[in-house]
Amino acid sequence: MKYKDYYATLGVERTANSDDIKAAYRKLARKYHPDVSKEAGAEEKFKDVSEAYETLKDPEKRAAYDQLGRHAPGDEFRPPPDWQQSFGDTQFSFDDLDLADLFAGLAGRGGGGRRAPNAPIPGQDFEGAVNLSFDQAYKGTEIELDMSVAERDANGVLRRVPRKIRVRIPKGVTDGQKLRVPGKGGKGVNGGRDGDLYLDIAVQAHPLYRADGLDLYMELPLAPWEAVLGATVEVPTPAGRVTLRVPAGTRAGQKLRLAGRGLSRPDGSTGHLYAVAQIAVPTVVDDRQRALFEQLKDASSFNPRAHMVD
Interaction site with other proteins (CB under 8 A): 22, 25-26, 29-30, 33, 35, 46, 50, 53, 57, 122, 125, 142, 144, 164-170, 173, 176-184, 193, 196, 198-199, 210, 212, 265, 267, 269
Q: Which is nearer to other proteins, 68 or 163 (CB)?
A: 163
Specify which residues 257 forms β-bridges with.
Answer: 274
Q: Which residues contact 256 (CB under 8 A, 6 or more apart)?
A: 220, 244, 246, 250, 274, 275, 276, 277
Minimum distance from CB of 285 to other proteins (Å)? 33
Q: Which is nearer to other proteins, 109 or 226 (CB)?
A: 109
Minimum distance from CB of 242 to other proteins (Å)? 25
Q: Which is nearer to other proteins, 143 or 231 (CB)?
A: 143
Q: Which is nearer to other proteins, 62 or 246 (CB)?
A: 62
Q: Which is nearer to other proteins, 163 or 272 (CB)?
A: 163
Minimum distance from CB of 186 to other proteins (Å)? 13
Minimum distance from CB of 129 to other proteins (Å)? 13
Q: Which is nearer to other proteins, 25 or 87 (CB)?
A: 25
Minimum distance from CB of 176 to other proteins (Å)? 7
Q: Which is nearer to other proteins, 169 or 227 (CB)?
A: 169
Minimum distance from CB of 144 to other proteins (Å)? 7
Minimum distance from CB of 148 to other proteins (Å)? 16
DSSP string across the chain: -B---HHHHHT--TT--HHHHHHHHHHHHHHH-TTT---TTHHHHHHHHHHHHHHHTSHHHHHHHHTT----TT-B----TTHHHHT-S-EE-TTT--HHHHHHTTTT--SSSPPPTT--BPPPPEEEEEEE-HHHHHH-EEEEEEEEEEEE-TTSEEEEEEEEEEEEEPTT--TT-EEEETT-SSPPBTTPPP--EEEEEEEPPPSS-EEETTEEEEEEEE-HHHHHH-EEEEE--TT--EEEEEPTTPPTT-EEEETT-S-B-TTS-B--EEEEEEE---S---HHHHHHHHHHHHH----TTGGG--
